[in-house]
Structure 1
Amino acid sequence: MPLYAPSPALRGRQLAADVGLLAWLVLWVVVARTVHGAVLALAGPGRAVEDLGASVAGSMSSAAQAAADVPVVGDELAAPFEALGSAGGSVGGAGQAAQDAVGTLATVLAVVLVVLPVGWLLLRWLPWRLGWVRDAGVARRLATADPALLAARALATAPLTRLAALPPGTAEAWRAGDPTATRALAAVELARLGLPADTLGRDERRLGLR
């Protein structure tokens, strides 16, 4: 099934819309990456706290081991250092938790910055593009099966300027079953969809339109 109209004008608009959507996506991906990196920079203090806690915990652990080697009172001397080591481990854990929170925030913001604007445009682009593919396919079938329906559609929805450009009396002739008027009105609807008039099908002889 064709994704683009044969008409250069409509095909150009479709291509421009597709390229615009792609550019919009790239733009917001770049913005999201920039914001993600900027937010991750806020994790610096958390890393510093984690490093400080690890350093304190390591130093106190070494001191506790040294104190434990003192005869008789080693256990009592080692206890305060072990407590300080435990406190240093808790500080390091808090620093890691802060980094995790910043990382989660950075990821959420990046996803939101891509999903919301791209989704907003996609909800407008997708129905238009898929709607044309559907309508063009139906119009091609009607062009061979029942051009009169295309003619009726043109009378109901075509711009007045397009209808006014038709020969005078076209509507009356169509109502009277004139094949030339039916073909002219059907061609207006096909042109709206960017389809050439020769889409009016190979079964026109059977339908009496040639």
Structure 2
Amino acid sequence: MPLYATRPRLRARQLAADAGLLAWLLVWVLVARTVHGAVLVLAEPGRAVEDLGTSVAGNMASAAEAAGAVPLVGDDLAAPLDALGAAGTSAGSAGQAAQDAVGTLATVLALALVVLPVTWAVLRWAPWRLRWAREARAVRAMAVADPHVLAARALATAPLSRLAALPPGTAAAWHAGDPAATRALAGLELDRVGVTLPVWR
């Protein structure tokens, strides 16, 4: 399946459309990365809470272990310290959960900022490119198998200015089966689609 027209003007349009799509994708990827980084800044308080909770839990665990070694009253001294350590662990878990939530939000926003606009652009770009590729393939095949069909289509659909530019009597010559007239008319259809066949040059 051909990807680009051989006619310079149409090929330039196709290349510009493809480059525009890639540029559009790149822009939104950069925007998504920026937004992702900006949202992740919101995770800093959660990270601070996690660090504080982990530190408190570790310190209280050490203190409880030391207090537990005191004869007779060790268990009584260690109990409140263990409770404080458990509270620190809970605070650390809450901080981690907040970071996870912010990370998920940042990822979802980044994906949405890429997927939605790029999908919109692809849905506008792909049908046009695929339609041209199918038509170009069909026209190439028809030009070899039965150029009379292309000549008839050109007579029916080509602008009058293009038909008027042909030598006088081209239509009558085509009706009479003149190969040169057939090639001239079929060439208009090839020009419209933007393809050419080397054997016609």
What's the TM-score once normalised by structure 1's chain length? 0.84
What is residue 79 of structure 2 aligned with on the other side? 79
CA distance in 1, matches of 2:76, 2:157: 94
- Give 1:78 shift: 0.8
What is residue 35 of structure 1 aligned with on the other side? 35
What is residue 126 of structure 1 aligned with on the other side? 126
What is residue 192 of structure 1 aligned with on the other side? 192
Checking the alignment, whether the CA contact within 8 Å between 1:56 and 1:85 is kept in structure 2 is: yes
After superposition, give the CA deviation of every residue in 1:129-174 in whole Å (9 maximum; x if it has no partner): 2222222121111111111221233344434543454456655665
What is residue 97 of structure 1 aligned with on the other side? 97
CA distance in 2, matches of 1:45, 1:133: 54
- Give 1:15 shift: 1.3
Aligned residues: 201
Output aligned runs, 1:39-188, within 5 Å. Answer: 39-166=39-166, 174=174, 179-188=179-188
Show structure 1 runs of 5+ residues with no match. Answer: 202-210
CA distance in 1, matches of 2:143, 2:40: 59
Checking the alignment, whether the CA contact within 8 Å between 1:150 and 1:186 is kept in structure 2 is: yes
Change beyond 3 A, Cα 1:188–1:95: same
Change beyond 3 A, Cα 1:168–1:127: same
Give the stretch that moved more between structures: 84-93 or 152-161.
152-161
The residue type equivalent to 1:147 in the other structure is P
- Give 1:2 shift: 3.5
Identity of aligned residues (%): 72
- Give 1:37 shift: 0.6
CA distance in 1, matches of 2:88, 2:156: 79
What's the TM-score once normalised by structure 2's chain length? 0.88
- Give 1:111 shift: 1.2
What is the root-mean-square deviation of aligned Cα atoms in Å? 2.3
The residue type equivalent to 2:73 in the other structure is V
CA distance in 2, matches of 1:119, 1:199: 40
CA distance in 2, matches of 1:199, 1:6: 14
4+ residue runs over 6 A deviation: none
- Give 1:178 shift: 5.2
Checking the alignment, whether the CA contact within 8 Å between 2:68 and 2:78 is kept in structure 1 is: yes
What is residue 22 of structure 2 aligned with on the other side? 22
Change beyond 3 A, Cα 1:108–1:199: farther
CA distance in 2, matches of 1:21, 1:200: 34
Change beyond 3 A, Cα 1:43–1:129: same
